[in-house]
Chains A and B, each alone.
Chain A
Amino acid sequence: MTACTDRQIEPVTDRTAAATATSAPDGSPETAASTAPAVELRGVVKSFGDRRALDGLDLTVPAGSVFGFLGPNGAGKTTTLRILAGLARQDSGTLRILGHDPRTDGRRVRGLVGYLPDVPGFPAWMTAARFLRFCGDLYGVPAPVLEERVVSLLDLAGLEGVDARIGAFSRGMKQRLGVAQALVSAPRLLMLDEPTSALDPLGRRDVLEMVAALRGRTTVFFSTHILADVERVCDTVAILDRGRVLEQAPIGELRARRRERHRLLAEVDDPRSLATAVSGQAWADDVETADRGVLAITTRDLAAAQRGVPETVARLGLELRRLETDEASLEDVFVDLVGRDGGRAQPDDTTRGERS
């Protein structure tokens, strides 16, 4: 996949406006619906047998955001996306997509949304170009626009000049084609379920750059369990666990909340002695040994800790090699909310039949 540029996605995003303008019930441009949140879920419940995959899920995805839907395996990400895509139904609760109710307006909603499932399936006999044309035809994209867009998306997906049948594609190639087909209608809402999970580092970087380039042009709602992906491209994140949203906020705000508790990293020649001495200090909330013997000291009083650590080091006659504050990461927030097991006890989110 080539690096994404504005030029490459221009035809797609240009088309977004046109698609929007022609998608209102009376053929007029969308008005009220266009100002609504891209996705609104209220009290959505979904069970598979005795297991509750979504447990009163409330979620609001602001229009125009790049929204990360983060959670451990089994948290309910795929189930949520499948319900939004019209492939599954909630047991109770309401949802609106771009201001529309998918139950009464399903076809129109699907016309405004691009969707990539977690494990996309393709007709093995088709070529990538032919499949993109087919997808564009399903959306009713006019032929001249579609031809231009297919060329652009093949380039974006790094599949230009690939004449092999999709059946011969690697998983990464299929994933990139999956992203491309989700963009073929220039959707107002792009829903991607674990889009980078099957990609090598370069492919992952390219998909993330592509997603980042769509910021402000369309709403991107993508699920992932990869924290780094969310930190890299998302402006807003919802953290999901056991079918409930634990936290939803702009990433900066989440980090700021975490900053109420600061972390100092101290590297000394004898970390065990320092840990013992620091543990008894009033300003030290928590002390733990991080990588390579570096002490991670959590504190609510940063100034006191910044004074106290060097004093303690001097008193013990230790050699202070490094002392720095550690910026709170999304991982910290995630671990705080979900716990250190990261929901590993839950069944795999992608298990078919009883997906969560």
Chain B
Amino acid sequence: MSPSRAFTRQELDQIVHTWRLYVLPGLLFFFGLTSPVLAALMPELAEYAAGETPGAVIEIPPPTAVDAYVQFLGNLQQLGSLVAVIIGAGVIAAEVRNGTAALILAKPLGRTQYVLTKTAVHFLLTVLAALLGTAACVAVTALIFDIGPLARFIAAVGCWVLLVAFLIAVATLLSAMLRSQMAAAAAAAVVAITVGALSQLPAVGDCSPAGLWSASGAILAGRPSPLVVPILTTVAGTVAALAAAVIVFRRREI
């Protein structure tokens, strides 16, 4: 068995045998189940909130499948992104710190393979978690409402997957750079929040990965949104971040 294959298998096994199997998939599955329910309950919740405030009148149109999908997408973009990058920031820094990386990297496994395998496996887990959450959301939405604009929803989730690939690559770079897992996670969280904030500025968002954040919402709502440049910059940014992570880690002392 080649070192790369052995290491990939071990990384996959590690997910199955540790808490990582449950955190992100569990979170996104939970969002998938609850987002349609929350969307359905939104009018009642708004009515209750209005009742607490004398004179306030809140009118909410009857919820639809789109509302359920919007709710899920919002959770995915905010908490899902945050958890994905925080976990991603730990995959290298934690192993360097606890001495496992030294034991592995003294063997004939290249540092490039080490970085790329860890990133790929974490990205794979994130995609599977997104699929699980999406499937749960579609199923519950269909039960409560109807199937709704499924293709647009899947395309919107696809935009998020592309964006999260970029965020995970940046988290990997931070994890390869910083000795402290906490510092890497904090820095990665700041990057994710910044990308979310930049998406609110069309001038920046339309020509950067942040554009995918707003584009996914627009796709779901059936509005036109620039996609080509955000996709290209996201792919370029992902490749650049991974290349930087490899270069930094190859030079790093373990």
Contact = CB atoms under 8 A, between A and B. Distances in A.
Contact of A125 (B9, B14, B106, B109): B14
A137 B17 CA distance: 19
Interface of B: 1-3, 5-7, 9-10, 14, 17-18, 95, 98-110, 179, 253-254
Nearest to A146: B1
Contacts of B110: 107
7 contacts: A87-B105, A108-B108, A121-B95, A125-B14, A134-B10, A137-B9, A138-B108
A2 to B, nearest CB: 24
A134 to B, nearest CB: 5
A119 B99 contact: yes
A140 interface: yes
A52 to B, nearest CB: 16
A120 B110 CA distance: 19
Question: Could you say which of A82, A123, A138 has the most chain B C-beta atoms within 10 Å of its C-beta?
Answer: A138
Interface of A: 82, 85-89, 107-108, 110-111, 113, 115, 117, 119-123, 125-126, 134-135, 137-140, 143, 178, 181, 185, 353
A87 B1 contact: no
Given A138-B107, A353-B179, A121 B102 contact: yes
B94 to A, nearest CB: 10
Contacts of B106: 85-87, 110, 113, 115, 117
Given A115-B103, A121-B100, A125-B14, 17 more contacts: A86-B105, A107-B108, A107-B110, A110-B107, A111-B108, A117-B106, A120-B99, A125-B17, A125-B18, A126-B17, A134-B10, A137-B3, A137-B6, A138-B109, A140-B1, A140-B2, A140-B3
A121 B97 CA distance: 9
A135 B99 CA distance: 15
Contacts of B253: 82, 87-89
Contacts of B98: 121
Contacts of A108: 108
A108 B110 CA distance: 11
Given A86-B105, A125-B18, A134 B179 contact: no
Given A87-B253, A107-B110, A125-B17, A138 B99 contact: no
Nearest to A137: B6
B100 A110 contact: no
B14 A139 contact: no
A117 B102 contact: yes
Contacts of A123: 10, 14, 100
Contacts of A110: 106-108
Given A134-B6, A134-B10, A117 B103 contact: yes
Contacts of A107: 108, 110
A330 to B, nearest CB: 29
Contacts of B9: 137
A181 B14 CA distance: 19
Nearest to B18: A125
A92 to B, nearest CB: 16
Contacts of B101: 121
Given A87-B253, A88-B254, A139 B100 contact: no
B103 A120 contact: yes
Nearest to A355: B253
Contact of A121 (B1, B7, B103): B103
Contacts of A111: 107-108
A303 B102 CA distance: 55
The 4 A-B residue pairs whose C-beta atoms are closest, nearest first, are: A121-B99, A137-B6, A121-B100, A115-B106
Contacts of A135: 107
Given A87-B253, A138-B7, A139-B107, A122 B100 contact: yes
